[in-house]
Structure 1
Amino acid sequence: MIESRQGTDGDDFVGALIRANSDGKKITDHELLMLVSFIIFAGFDTTRNQIGLGLQTFSKHMDQWRNLGENPDLARSAVEEVMRVNPTITWVSREASVDVEYKDLVIPQGKTIHLLTIPSGSDPRRFEKTEFDIAAGRPPHFGFGGGMHHCLGHYVARLDMAEAYKALAQRLPDFEILTGATYLPDSGNTGPIELPIKFTPSARRS
């Protein structure tokens, strides 16, 4: 993609990065490759994976799926609930910038720690009820990270997923996941590689 865009007058973000690479090497070839790769990964891969995991979750809670189809205004809260119980980002990594002591745990400066997102979404000290319920209204989850490293693209991701779930719930009211689904290994970012489903399509709604 980078090669095909070099020498063009693209006025988008990728075009600006390519020009910065060719204009006095403000960014190196390696930096350009890493930045473009990260844009693709962060902008598409995680959102796609989370939509697939949402279908996996809803397939076990078809009453909630029907509720979403009948009440599309619940789409935004459905995104939050799916990410609480079945997030594509299964852990968030941080590196200790200083020595840290928490209770009996000592984290030396420079050590990497992994914060698990799934247990944080079912902690009874934070969530009075943990069953999957898109209408419950929950405290914020940790699926987009937190603090100064909170996901910059979370607004776009939330909107994309809400629109996808809303449309799918209305068009595929009785979907079922078939055997043969395969998933990425749980290495911090997971999701379906193949997710075969069957359904009876309903009429398109305006």
Structure 2
Amino acid sequence: MGIAATPVHDRRASASLFSRLRTAGGQADPFPIYEELLSRGEVIPAPWGGSVVTSFDVCDQVLRSRDWLEPDKRWRERQGPGTRWNASSSQEMSNTLAALNPPDHKRVRRAAGTFDRSTIERISRTVSSTTDRLLDALSERLRDGEADFAVLVGEELPVATIGDWLGLPAADWPRLRQLTHDQVFTQELLPSASQLAASDAATAELRAYFMALVSDRRAHPGEDPVSRWIQTWDSLEADREKADEAVYFLVLFVLLAALETTAQLLTTMTLLLVECPERWDLVADHPDLVPGFVEETLRYDPPTHVISRVAAEDCVLSGMEIRKDEMVHLMVGAAHRDPARHSDPDRFDPLRKPAHLAFSGGIHYCLGAPLARLEAQILLRQLIRRLPRLTLVRRPSMAPRVAFRRLLNLDVALA
């Protein structure tokens, strides 16, 4: 697999490749398609406008540079009525941390705080006990034959972790998880009208839920993060209604970020573990490889395959002219298989030196990266310690997405 010396700058030339990405086969295994995209050049025109970036180094450059911006609220409004960017769910997301540019981004990120060492230590106890409980349920189901790891563990651990931390009632977790699955469509590469409608409805319900939560925590403050964010925003914003809305946007962002991508990381990691007996034996015999196994999962098949940015000014990116306000789509899933960055990139190797963009980069580096790594490492350690080797029963089905990967099932059995 190599990169063409002379890029093929023809929008029609890549249209068929992106059409294939949107098929069930393309979503199940997009990597041969990524190889073809890589062969066309580091930066190529996207069929629908804007550009697509496939090389690791150029993706990394864009993510780290202040010359590339998030498609924020003002940018979305400039796209005009009737576009996907003016859907109500898209407009709502434009107020969250992930879509903010400086100086707004710095202000909100400071208000959010970070998952510092003491917080991670407290959460790790919850993750460990929850993982034990979920693996008990998995073991019980395996006695009767096969079990769906995605349903029993992969989707349960993230919602239990973030739900407990935020102090959300456990009875609400299943509905919040489903709403998250629907809401993420507005952040897809090319969402359909029906997907946007589902996202709009989910976003409206999430807003109602979390605004009520903020109101309740204001009336009955506790030691939870939501109560602390209310105190922080009261010191930053004189208008109480605006302060409450700022807290809501922060809680919404944390929930969406913590559930969708972490669940996918956990399930993909386990798929890579059970589909190859040698991998299970390797990490079981060498538990010190657990962190490397997690990092290689994030490179090999990251939860997010596409990250979008817009140009702050006219520029030239790897020989391609980009106009101010034009969007570039960073094909992270392809960049992680770039042979210019990784030798033998299609081989899963937990001994490989970590280098990936799964948590983005620059000022938008993922706030919850320590939490995602914590959940994945604890789960993997307890899986190999508590259970005999598992085997894959059938290939999983994939959700109809390109940017945000999601395994709908992971059916396993005792080997």
Range class of TM-score, shorter chain: 0.7 to 0.9
Secondary structure at 1:101 match in 2: strand
TM-score after normalising by structure 1: 0.83
Q: How many residues get paired?
A: 199
Q: Which moved more, 1:81-90 or 1:118-127?
A: 118-127
CA offset at residue 28 of structure 1?
A: 5.4
* Alignment RMSD (CA, Å): 2.5
Higher helix share: 2
CA displacement, residues 97-138 of structure 1 (integer Å, 9 cap, x when unaligned): 112212331221112211111222221111123211112x32
Secondary structure at 1:110 match in 2: coil
| Matched residue, 1:68 | 283
Aligned with residue 337 of structure 2, among 112, 122, 132? 122
Aligned with residue 262 of structure 2, among 31, 47, 61? 47
CA offset at residue 185 of structure 1?
A: 2.6
| Matched residue, 2:314 | 99
2: CA distance, partners of 1:27 / 1:73: 48
Q: Which moved more, 1:17-26 or 1:120-129?
A: 17-26
The aligned amino acid for 2:259 is F
CA displacement, residues 7-59 of structure 1 (integer Å, 9 cap, x when unaligned): 21122221234454797326356544332121112123311211101122223
Q: Which moved more, 1:174-183 or 1:184-193?
A: 174-183
CA displacement, residues 140-180 of structure 1 (integer Å, 9 cap, x when unaligned): 11111122221122122212211111211233342123347
| Matched residue, 1:138 | 353
TM-score after normalising by structure 2: 0.44
> What is the 5 A alignment of 1:191-202?
191-199=406-414
The aligned amino acid for 1:105 is M
| Matched residue, 2:227 | 15
The aligned amino acid for 1:46 is T
2: CA distance, partners of 1:78 / 1:10: 38
2: CA distance, partners of 1:180 / 1:77: 24
| Matched residue, 1:150 | 365
The aligned amino acid for 1:122 is R
1: CA distance, partners of 2:238 / 2:396: 46
Name structure 2 gaps, 5 residues minimum: 1-167, 169-209
2: CA distance, partners of 1:180 / 1:140: 28
Q: Structure 1 residues 173, 26: CA separation in 2 closer, same or farther (over 3 Å shift)? A: same
Name structure 1 gaps, 5 residues minimum: 201-206
Asked if 1 retains the 8 angstrom alpha-carbon contact of 2:396 and 2:410, the reply is yes
Secondary structure at 1:182 match in 2: coil
Q: Which moved more, 1:38-47 or 1:178-187?
A: 178-187
| Matched residue, 1:172 | 387
Q: Which moved more, 1:159-168 or 1:12-21?
A: 12-21
Q: Whose relative contact order is higher, 1 or 2, with alpha carbons under 8 Å and at least 6 apart? A: 2
Secondary structure at 1:132 match in 2: coil
- Between the aligned residues of both structures, percent identity stands at 25
The aligned amino acid for 2:265 is Q
